């Protein structure tokens, strides 16, 4: 994986519980591994059990070699506490099942890393009728937060929600009339829809931070940099493949660990307790796009989102989102 982490490695209380969506690969893998190596109990919420179990095995091996290197601040436990739970963000049935099982397990939840994502959907729709990127990157995570908010609110001080967003949010067009991809468009504007899903995550960060100001939960979003992960494997056009190949060749991409650094800092550093409502790049609070900071539009997006997902939420969960 390469690269020295620039976040402080320090033991965490071993009752601290993390959920990392997409924790089996790329940025999420490194976030999950380092949270666990510092002593957290980590659930990786993934769509493939096989890939998740392989990832856990690899984490255990890398933990042993990190100990072998004499890295300070690692947990003294002999093995990492990482578990798999099934979650397919492209299916609300799966999202509801995941949330239900998590709640039934009686676990607390201190840190929720909304990390899983895709940047190509090739115009596909989900079984629930939404444009794939919109549901996987944005709506699916929104429903998880709505359903697990009460668990987080009852988990004691210093709970955190972190969104792995993207600088691509900057070019996201805010247009609630075309929130959904419509088959009548001849070509699915892939990057445009990716940017929108990431814009909505940043806007959600601000709206949630405002609603839950003075609560025990903080909300932050981040851009991880351009990171060499599997997310680009689904690129279809020659142009995209060629661009990615060139960027890779000149070494302009970050490793997954480098990409995960800001997320790990936000998830684990005690110094970030109570810090809420920011967009982060390279572990620094950074100005996000002017559209994303528009409070009126954040509210409009919030209302539209609730309209889209209301059938998946109970009245208590809807009330919980009001932040009172």
Ligand X SMILES: NC(=O)c1ccc[n+]([C@@H]2O[C@H](COP(=O)([O-])OP(=O)(O)OC[C@H]3O[C@@H](n4cnc5c(N)ncnc54)[C@H](OP(=O)(O)O)[C@@H]3O)[C@@H](O)[C@H]2O)c1
* Residues of this chain that bind ligand X (CB under 6 A): 21-22, 24-28, 46-48, 51, 87-90, 115-119, 136-137, 164, 166, 223-224, 226-227, 229-231
CB of 51 to ligand X, least distance (A): 5
C-beta of 95: minimal distance to ligand X in Å?
9
Nearer to ligand X, 40 or 259 (CB): 259
Tokens of 298: 């954040």
Buried b / exposed e along 176-206 (16+ C-beta atoms within 10 A): eeebebeeeeeebebebbbbbbbbbbbbbbb
C-beta of 63 vs 120, nearer to ligand X: 120
Shortest gap between Cβ of 11 and ligand X (angstroms)? Answer: 26
- The bridge status of strand 278-281 relative to strand 284-286 is antiparallel
Q: Which is nearer to ligand X, 224 or 320 (CB)?
A: 224
Tell the smallest beta-carbon distance from residue 165 to ligand X (Å): 7
Q: Which two tokens stand for residue 190?
A: 């892939």
Tell the smallest beta-carbon distance from residue 9 to ligand X (Å). 21
Give me 52's structure tokens. Answer: 């998740």
Residue 246 CB, nearest approach to ligand X (Å): 15
- Nearest to ligand X of 22, 320 (CB atom): 22
| CA–CA dist 55, 49 (Å, integer) | 10
Q: Which phi and psi angles does 61 have, rounded to 5°?
A: -65, -45
Distance CA 1, CA 259 (A): 11
Tell me the closest approach of the beta carbon of residue 43 to ligand X, in angstroms.
13
In the complex with ligand X, the residue whose CB is nearer, 75 or 222, is 222
Closer CB to ligand X, residue 21 or residue 220?
A: 21
d(CA 74, CA 67): 7
CB 121 within 8 A of CB 127: no
Q: What angle is formed at CA 132 by the lines to CA 164 and CA 189, rounded to 5 degrees?
A: 90
User: What three-state secondary structure class fits 291?
Assistant: coil
The distance of closest approach from Cβ of residue 229 to ligand X in the complex, given in angstroms and rounded to an integer, is 3
Give me the residue label for tokens 């009686």. Answer: 106
Q: Which is nearer to ligand X, 25 or 146 (CB)?
A: 25
Q: Which is nearer to ligand X, 137 or 155 (CB)?
A: 137
C-alpha to C-alpha distance for 116 and 45, rounded to whole angstroms: 9
Taken in order 82, 86, 91, 94, the sign of the CA dihedral is: negative
Which of 114, 109, 105 has its CA nearest to residue 150?
A: 109
Closer CB to ligand X, residue 26 or residue 40? 26
Q: What is the 3-state secondary structure (H, E, C) of 131-171?
A: EHHHHHHHHHHHHHHHHHHHHHHCCCCCEEEEEECCHHHHH
Tell me the three state secondary structure of residue 13. Answer: coil
CB of 125 to ligand X, least distance (A): 13
Cα gap 37→76, rounded to integer Å: 9
């Amino acid at each position: 994986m390469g690269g020295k982490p620039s976040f402080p490695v320090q033991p965490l209380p071993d009752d601290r519980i993390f959920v990392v969506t997409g924790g089996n690969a790329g940025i999420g893998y490194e976030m999950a591994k380092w949270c666990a190596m510092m002593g957290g109990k980590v659930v990786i919420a993934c769509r493939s059990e096989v890939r998740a179990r392989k990832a856990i095995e690899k984490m255990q091996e890398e933990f042993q070699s990190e100990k072998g290197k004499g890295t300070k601040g690692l947990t003294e436990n002999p093995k990492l506490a990482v578990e798999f739970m099934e979650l397919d963000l492209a299916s609300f049935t799966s999202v509801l099942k995941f949330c239900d099982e998590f709640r039934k397990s009686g676990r607390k939840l201190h840190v929720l890393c909304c990390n899983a994502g895709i940047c190509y959907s090739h115009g596909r729709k989900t079984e629930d009728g939404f444009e794939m990127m919109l549901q996987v990157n944005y709506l699916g995570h929104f429903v998880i937060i709505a359903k697990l908010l009460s668990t987080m609110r009852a988990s004691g001080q210093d709970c955190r929600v972190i969104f792995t967003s993207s600088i691509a949010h900057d070019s996201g067009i805010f247009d609630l009339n075309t929130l959904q991809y419509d088959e009548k468009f001849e070509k699915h504007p892939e990057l445009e829809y990716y940017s929108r899903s990431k814009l909505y995550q940043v806007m959600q960060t601000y709206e949630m931070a405002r609603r839950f100001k003075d609560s025990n939960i903080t909300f932050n979003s981040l851009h991880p940099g351009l990171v060499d992960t599997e997310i680009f494997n689904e690129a279809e056009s020659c142009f995209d493949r060629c661009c990615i190949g060139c960027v890779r060749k000149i070494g302009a991409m970050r490793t997954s660990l480098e990409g995960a650094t800001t997320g790990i800092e936000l998830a684990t550093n005690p110094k970030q307790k109570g810090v809420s409502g920011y967009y982060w790049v390279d572990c620094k609070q950074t100005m996000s796009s002017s559209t994303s900071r528009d409070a009126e539009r954040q509210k409009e997006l919030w209302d539209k989102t609730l309209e889209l997902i209301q059938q998946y939420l109970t009245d208590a969960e809807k009330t919980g989102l009001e932040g009172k």
